[in-house]
């Protein structure tokens, strides 16, 4: 069992402060991920831990011993580093590069023995590099070289493994394979792992805990689920995100939401009746197209409500898991009266949100163009004993337009925008 303790370190390059008062502890069998924007100090932190850059203040301890008071060879026996990139200019074979990981364990001028070769072969088999053991590394792809470097680190038989964006040069298949391997070693061999990531979801998938860095300071630290929140990501990266547990894997999933620069905003206001995530992609698309969007009635904590909040879309809301009250219904009708178009997404309807279809019927009576986005049988999402289906039938009879996709919806809105502009110009 080993513990890595970072105790109040501060680092600088000349007169430029890069890290300020960094404190955290990691134990054997724990996987810590470090995330932050470019220039936040992630790589500098790894350099400091790996004895490349000595802190001007604070201490880095393995157990109770300061690594800067230890011999280099003793640190190397306990800690291995996988850098972001490893320039290779000599024609060493892959096996020769991997065997370099045995150097801390060998006497001076001693050649590798049978045990060293066995350890190297095992590491190469784990990283699927044994198949090109005899090939010069100068002939390997970037991804293959990265796997060789990881094999070299494993051959070092460390208790602590530091990785600086270890999957940068790998395709998605190799990324998952390498990360699965590293996670497996963390769990089965109790390897202590500290890794820098630029991918939220890769970090969320594999890390037990996460540190978010910004401007050389820790903004948030703790268990992945507690640290990777929309608020923290916004604070550190200035990016809006939706953070949810993935419906299939159950793992934390971070979805960045970008807001494009709209040179010519559209004049139409589009009101969405949605819920359960059916409105989220439509909100994003309509904003990207330059339309102003409102939505309601949405229950608080509903996916669409959270998306609307992130995108600064005005909504009428109701308490979580509660039926639409008269007050919320009236507020929704008031918001609809200011819209130019109403769109009903293919959400589920129960007795609790049936009033939203009543609001759609009211909008149509007031002459507001109403669009029904349908992508499947209504019966599969009608939990009102047919009441919702009857509402939709009446809407169609009274002139509501039906579209089958978001692209058809955008085309309809673009045509309506063009028509309104022509009428306003005459």
Provide the β-strand partners of residue 57.
10
Domain 3-255 matches domain 269-425 at the CATH topology level? yes
Domain edges within the chain: 3-255, 269-425
User: Could you tell me the two tokens for 212?
Assistant: 């978010």
d(CA 333, CA 335): 5
d(CA 211, CA 196): 10
User: Could you tell me the two tokens for 64?
Assistant: 């109770």
User: Could you tell me the two tokens for 382?
Assistant: 């009608």
* pLDDT tens, the chain, 426 aa long: 899 999 999 998 888 889 999 999 999 999 999 999 988 999 899 999 999 999 999 999 999 999 999 999 999 999 999 887 766 667 899 999 999 988 888 766 566 778 889 999 999 998 889 999 999 988 888 778 888 998 999 999 999 999 998 887 677 777 888 888 889 889 988 999 999 998 888 899 999 999 999 999 999 999 998 999 988 998 998 888 878 777 667 788 887 876 665 557 888 999 999 998 899 889 989 998 899 999 989 998 888 898 888 788 999 999 988 899 999 999 999 999 999 999 999 999 998 999 999 999 999 999 999 999 987 777 788 888 899 999 999 999 999 999 989 999 999 999 998 888 777 765
d(CA 354, CA 382): 10
Q: Please report where in the chains the tokens 């202590």 appear, as a residue.
A: 192
Q: What are phi and psi of 7, to 5 degrees?
A: -115, 90
pLDDT tens column, 299-309: 988 888 988 88
d(CA 258, CA 77): 45
Identify each DSSP E strand in 228-268 by its residue range: 240-245, 252-257
**Superfamily of the domain at 269-425:** NAD(P)-binding Rossmann-like Domain (3.40.50.720)
pLDDT tens column, 376-412: 777 788 888 899 999 999 999 999 999 989 999 999 9
User: Could you tell me the two tokens for 367?
Assistant: 């002459």
Q: Which class would CATH give 3-255?
A: alpha beta
Longest CA pairwise span in the chain (Å): 92
For the beta carbon of residue 65, count every other beta carbon within 10 angstroms.
14
H helix runs in 301-354, sequence order: 303-310, 326-337
**For the residues of 30-87, what is the DSSP string, one character each?**
-EEEEE--TTSSHHHHHHHHTTSS--SEEEEEETTEEGGGS-HHHHHHHEEEE-S---
214 by DSSP, 3-state: which?
strand
């Amino acid at each position: 069992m080993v513990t890595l303790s970072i105790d109040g370190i501060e680092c600088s390059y000349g007169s430029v402060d890069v890290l300020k008062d960094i404190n955290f502890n990691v134990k054997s069998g724990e996987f810590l991920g470090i995330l932050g924007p470019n220039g936040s100090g992630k790589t500098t932190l790894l350099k400091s831990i790996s004895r490349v850059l000595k802190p001007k203040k604070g201490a880095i301890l393995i157990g109770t011993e300061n690594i800067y008071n230890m011999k280099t060879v003793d640190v190397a026996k306990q800690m291995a580093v996988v850098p972001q990139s490893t320039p290779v200019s000599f024609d060493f074979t892959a096996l020769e590069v991997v065997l370099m990981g045995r150097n801390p364990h060998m006497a001076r001028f001693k050649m590798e023995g049978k045990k060293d070769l066995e350890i190297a072969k095992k590491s190469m088999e784990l990283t699927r590099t044994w198949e090109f053991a005899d090939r010069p590394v100068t002939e390997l792809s970037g991804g293959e070289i990265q796997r060789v470097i990881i094999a070299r680190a494993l051959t070092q038989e460390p208790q602590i493994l530091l990785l600086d964006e270890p999957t940068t040069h790998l395709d998605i298949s190799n990324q998952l394979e390498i990360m699965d391997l590293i996670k497996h070693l963390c769990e089965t061999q109790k390897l202590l792992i500290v890794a820098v990531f630029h991918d939220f979801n890769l970090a969320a998938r594999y890390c037990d805990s996460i540190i978010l860095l910004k401007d050389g300071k820790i903004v948030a630290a703790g268990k992945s689920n507690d640290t990777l929140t929309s608020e923290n990501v916004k604070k550190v990266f200035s990016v809006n995100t939706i953070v949810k547990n993935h419906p299939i894997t159950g793992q934390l999933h971070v979805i960045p939401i970008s807001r494009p620069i709209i040179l010519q905003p559209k004049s139409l206001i589009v009101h969405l009746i949605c819920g359960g995530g059916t409105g989220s992609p439509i909100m994003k698309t309509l904003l990207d197209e330059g339309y102003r969007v409102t939505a309601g009635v949405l229950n608080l904590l509903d996916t669409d409500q959270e998306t609307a909040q992130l995108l600064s879309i005005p909504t009428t809301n109701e308490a979580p898991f509660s039926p639409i009250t008269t007050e919320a219904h009236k507020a929704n009708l008031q918001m609809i009266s200011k819209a130019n178009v109403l769109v009903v997404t293919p959400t589920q309807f129960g007795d609790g949100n049936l009033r939203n279809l009543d609001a759609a019927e009211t909008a149509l009576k007031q002459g507001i163009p109403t669009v029904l986005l349908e992508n499947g049988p209504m019966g599969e999402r009608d939990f009102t004993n047919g009441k919702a289906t009857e509402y939709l039938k009446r809407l169609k009879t009274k002139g509501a337009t039906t579209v089958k996709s978001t692209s058809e919806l955008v085309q309809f809105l673009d045509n309506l925008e063009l028509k309104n502009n022509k009428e306003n110009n005459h």
